[in-house]
Chains A and B, each alone.
Chain A
Amino acid sequence: MLNELDRLTFNCIKCGYCKAACPVYKEIGEEAASPRGRVRLIRGVYGGDVSLSQRYRKLIELCISCRACTAECPSGVSPNQAVLNARHHLAIECGIPLIKRLIFRRAMTARRMFPASAKLLGFLQRAIILQSRYSPARLILPILGLPFDKAIPYFQLKTFRDRMPEVIPTTNRKYRVAYFVGCGADLIYPEIGEAVVNLLTHFGVEVVIPREQMCCGTPVFTSGDFEGAKYLARQNLKVLSNLDVDAIITACGSCGTTIKHEWHDLLGIEVPSELTSKVYDITEFLTDCLAVLLSAHTPKAKTITYHDPCHLVRGMGVRNQPRKLLSSLADTRYVELVGADTCCGGGGAYSIYHPDMSRKIGERKADNILKTEADLVATGCPVCILQLREMFSIAGISRQVEHTAVVLNRALKEKSQK
């Protein structure tokens, strides 16, 4: 374990280029909160001049895993991966907090219990009327360490996968693909799942939604629980390996990156390259495999911009495809967002553990989006959608934030109705 930390950080020459890219450092300005600082701390744990103190843990946890530092590092160091390994090391040496352990090891690993608990949560949310920004029920949030006006995503009473058959056929079948739904689309934003399925079937793709799929493991391993994540990865791998499909489609950059890279690179699981090469983001598959260009009209938006989810752009390397698709919409002007690929501050569960930091980073992003004067911002990750919607809601500004697939699907529907 320590050897691994050393290997990951030894080539750092402390040039500091990573600092310019780090959204967390930008807000705090302290060296120890920069990627270079974190790398030094991790090296210090290896070298023995840094202990696994509370301050160390806090600094390591403060990283939002946006990977901008890794993309920037010319020396080939991955401060991002070093941090994940450091979290794993902390989990081994100091344990995982009880609440996380319960969620990761009990709820998420039990195939039926996770959706069931989400549904229960959804029921409770409706029962105690949490949706109003001024509901007294929100007094519970400060007790949990969250801001009073924190947006709480609505968990579905019926998950997306509950609503869908396992196989959705198409006419003129060109491909058969598996759709790895991911927790965001399954439990919170089913419209993403519906859009993905509609788009695919429309263009002659048969969609299989494997029943037994589970969480990809991103929230689990980013918290340092590699063992829990490995369990999930192996279960998913079993499900995905036994399918006779041409591609595995994701509509969440984190799910895609995790299947494509992290199961192997971070968790050390043998993943056949035939499988990883089949993983496509929905926009990537539409563009690269189906050569789709929608000259369709999109309702409700005159100007569109696009925000790159960190794991989609830097994890999966999907940058041009969503832009190409969005630019192809008729009667809609596409404008590029300044700093489109900088983190929005969502970061999975980051906004729950670091609400202030998450909000500061998010506000910068929201400002940049407002400058484009676009009335719709598309993106490719449920957490980014949640975060951006919250930023606009706090600021009292009305801006549509949608998944790229949802925008495209709406345009398609409009077209076929005409």
Chain B
Amino acid sequence: MRESILRKLQEISGSKYVLTAPEDLVCYGYDAQHVEHCPEAIVRAGSAEEVCAILHLANEEGLHVTPRGAGTGLSGGSVPAAGGLVLDLGRMNRIIEIDQSNLLATVEPGVITADLASAVEAVGLMYPPDPGSIKVSTLGGNVAENAGGLRAIKYGVTADYIKVIEGATPTGEFFKAGAVTMKSVAGYDLVHLLCGSEGTLAVFTKLTFKLLPLPKARRSMVGLFSQLTQAAETVSAIISAGIMPATLEIMDNVTIRTVEEFKKIGLPIDAGAMLLLEVDGASAQVAEEADKAASIMTSHNASEVQVASTHAERDRVWEARRSALAALARVRPTAILEDATVPRSQLADMVSEINRIADKYSLTIGTFGHAGDGNLHPTILTDQRDKEEMARVEKAIEEIFNAALQLGGTVSGEHGIGFAKSRYLAREVGPGTLGMMRTIKSALDPKGILNPGKIFTDQTT
């Protein structure tokens, strides 16, 4: 990067916050997806003014800018695919206000999701989105990727809670989109355009979220099945019976065994699959729904149903689920997590397809995910040094996405397109929709400086 640009960046944010050492560059070249690209510099912005000034400068100089939170994304969204500048927002990490009378929380983008969740819980409120990476990921990143999580089936995803976004456009203009009121139809719904835009349309500097009252009661349970498909079928049965769990997750045998090996919490390593379910709400309703869900599991061939009776037991259930991805990574050196999502009613078919594909290409695939909302994470356990196997992996991924699309699903339930899945996007949305997306992108970012190489295939540099 040119010396003159670096000097200007140092003037904007202070030289302490502009990093150019090779040791720093390699550490900002990755997220939790496995492909890396190094930036030429990192700037750690401290305010909205700085963010605007940086984007302004980038437009003048034709400099590529990739915004970044904690770098926990799974589609390469914060990887600087075209080099340039990484704009780290981790320093902007203040919880600005928790407004109990309007059930709102206003934060800077670098706040860790779990920190907001526990701050609002302390005053009897709930921030429902609950991504697996909650302890590390930032709210700015959650909004950029429209993060889902374990409670999406009942409570929805990040987009269902974001009310106001302040930030900078790709050309460096300050904007404020949305309203704190319950209703607002003042112009285009920019908040929901920006939420999930994967850092290609704006950089966020302040976010206001809707909160809910904390449910009075919760109950968690685990159902064990000998077959994965039996567990998948049970999901539909539970929902059809009118029960709306807060969380309904599935883990296959490969996942159960690996998590057990890591956590040693007494998971049944012989079970073909597990359903992990939690209901919440008013005490009486929770008790009724829990009993009903348990009896549906039993009548659908669950060999055993265990209901957590203490907090510690409940935590253990969810700890098991949260560790699934990374525990799978113990099996082989490379774990490739996919994000295929189908309508809930097609879940059993999708699970069978994944099993068929794993057999066809002789691959180990651990499947877990948000069964309740049809969002599966088939995780391929491989070794990227093995060229021959990686070729089979590529084919398997292709078939998994095709299967998801054929079943009326989507290529990404919650991780975004990034660069990892850009070539499958056109297949899902078709040329008309893709054209509309491109028009929006080029209107807002005429020079294409913000997070290039993401979502669209032909924009890698």
A36 to B29 CA separation, bound complex (whole angstroms)? 12
Please name all residues of chain A whose beta carbon is closer than 8 Å to the beta carbon of B262 when the two chains form the complex.
Answer: 74, 76
Q: What's the least CB distance linking A72 to chain B, in Å? A: 9
Per the 8 Å Cβ criterion, residues 154-202 of B in contact with A are none
Find out whether the CB atom of A31 lies under 8 angstroms from the CB atom of B326: no
| B-side interface residues, number (CB < 8 Å) | 35
Please name all residues of chain A whose beta carbon is closer than 8 Å to the beta carbon of B447 when the two chains form the complex.
Answer: none
A76 to B259 CA separation, bound complex (whole angstroms)? 11
A41 CB-CB contact with B under 8 Å:
yes
Contact of B333 among A11, A16, A44, A59 (CB under 8 A): A11
B27 CB-CB contact with A under 8 Å:
yes
Please name all residues of chain B whose beta carbon is closer than 8 Å to the beta carbon of A59 when the two chains form the complex.
Answer: 23
Q: Name A39's closest neighbour in chain B (CB-CB).
A: B27
B22 CB-CB contact with A under 8 Å:
yes
B21 CB-CB contact with A under 8 Å:
yes
| Size class of the A contact interface (CB-based, 8 Å) | 20 to 34
A49 CB-CB contact with B under 8 Å:
yes
Among A20, A31, A37, A44, the one with the most B-chain Cβ atoms within 10 Å of its Cβ is A31
B28 CB-CB contact with A under 8 Å:
yes
A274 CB-CB contact with B under 8 Å:
no
B327 CB-CB contact with A under 8 Å:
yes
B339 CB-CB contact with A under 8 Å:
no
Complex interface bits, B68-88 against A, C-beta within 8 A gives 1, otherwise 0: 001110000000000000001
Q: What's the least CB distance linking B136 to chain A, in Å? A: 5
Find out whether the CB atom of A31 lies under 8 angstroms from the CB atom of B136: no
A268 CB-CB contact with B under 8 Å:
no
Please name all residues of chain A whose beta carbon is closer than 8 Å to the beta carbon of B71 when the two chains form the complex.
Answer: 14, 16, 31
- With A17-B136, A29-B44, A30-B19 known as contacts, the answer to whether A11 contacts B330 (CB < 8 A) is yes
Contact of B28 among A31, A41, A73 (CB under 8 A): A31
B323 CB-CB contact with A under 8 Å:
yes
B24 CB-CB contact with A under 8 Å:
yes
Among listed B30-38, B122-130, B144-152, B223-231, interface-contacting one: B30-38
Q: What's the least CB distance linking A93 to chain B, in Å? A: 16
A138 CB-CB contact with B under 8 Å:
no
- With A29-B44, A74-B326 known as contacts, the answer to whether A37 contacts B135 (CB < 8 A) is no
Find out whether the CB atom of A75 lies under 8 angstroms from the CB atom of B327: yes
Find out whether the CB atom of A17 lies under 8 angstroms from the CB atom of B23: no
Complex interface bits, B129-146 against A, C-beta within 8 A gives 1, otherwise 0: 000010111000000000
A55 CB-CB contact with B under 8 Å:
yes
Find out whether the CB atom of B327 lies under 8 angstroms from the CB atom of A37: no
A44 to B31 CA separation, bound complex (whole angstroms)? 16
A330 CB-CB contact with B under 8 Å:
no
A291 to B264 CA separation, bound complex (whole angstroms)? 26
Q: Chain A at the B interface: mostly helix, strand, loop or mixed? A: loop
Q: Name A76's closest neighbour in chain B (CB-CB).
A: B330
Find out whether the CB atom of A15 lies under 8 angstroms from the CB atom of B26: no
Complex interface bits, A38-57 against B, C-beta within 8 A gives 1, otherwise 0: 00110010000111010110
Contact of B133 among A16, A31, A34 (CB under 8 A): A16
A124 CB-CB contact with B under 8 Å:
no
A19 CB-CB contact with B under 8 Å:
yes
Q: Name A49's closest neighbour in chain B (CB-CB).
A: B26
B329 CB-CB contact with A under 8 Å:
yes
Please name all residues of chain B whose beta carbon is closer than 8 Å to the beta carbon of A13 when the two chains form the complex.
Answer: 32, 34, 325-326, 329, 334-335
Find out whether the CB atom of B27 lies under 8 angstroms from the CB atom of A40: yes
Per the 8 Å Cβ criterion, residues 49-99 of A in contact with B are 49-51, 53, 55-56, 59, 73-76
Contact of B30 among A10, A30, A40, A55 (CB under 8 A): A40
Find out whether the CB atom of A56 lies under 8 angstroms from the CB atom of B23: yes
B90 CB-CB contact with A under 8 Å:
yes
- With A20-B112, A50-B22 known as contacts, the answer to whether A15 contacts B326 (CB < 8 A) is yes
Please name all residues of chain A whose beta carbon is closer than 8 Å to the beta carbon of B334 when the two chains form the complex.
Answer: 13
A204 to B98 CA separation, bound complex (whole angstroms)? 58
Find out whether the CB atom of A44 lies under 8 angstroms from the CB atom of B32: no
A32 CB-CB contact with B under 8 Å:
yes
Contact of A37 among B27, B31, B325 (CB under 8 A): B27
A44 to B29 CA separation, bound complex (whole angstroms)? 12
Please name all residues of chain B whose beta carbon is closer than 8 Å to the beta carbon of A76 when the two chains form the complex.
Answer: 262, 329-330
A contacts, CB < 8 Å to B: 10-11, 13-17, 19-20, 29-32, 34, 36-37, 40-41, 44, 49-51, 53, 55-56, 59, 73-76
**A–B Cβ pairs within 8 angstroms, 15 of them:** A13-B326, A14-B31, A14-B71, A15-B72, A16-B70, A16-B136, A20-B112, A20-B136, A29-B44, A31-B27, A31-B28, A32-B24, A53-B22, A74-B325, A75-B326
B contacts, CB < 8 Å to A: 19, 21-24, 26-28, 30-32, 34, 44, 70-72, 88, 90-91, 112, 114, 133, 135-137, 262, 323, 325-327, 329-330, 333-335
If A13-B34, A75-B329 are given as contacts, then 9 extra A-B residue pairs at C-beta distance below 8 Å, sorted by A number, are: A11-B330, A13-B335, A14-B34, A29-B90, A30-B27, A31-B24, A31-B88, A40-B30, A41-B26
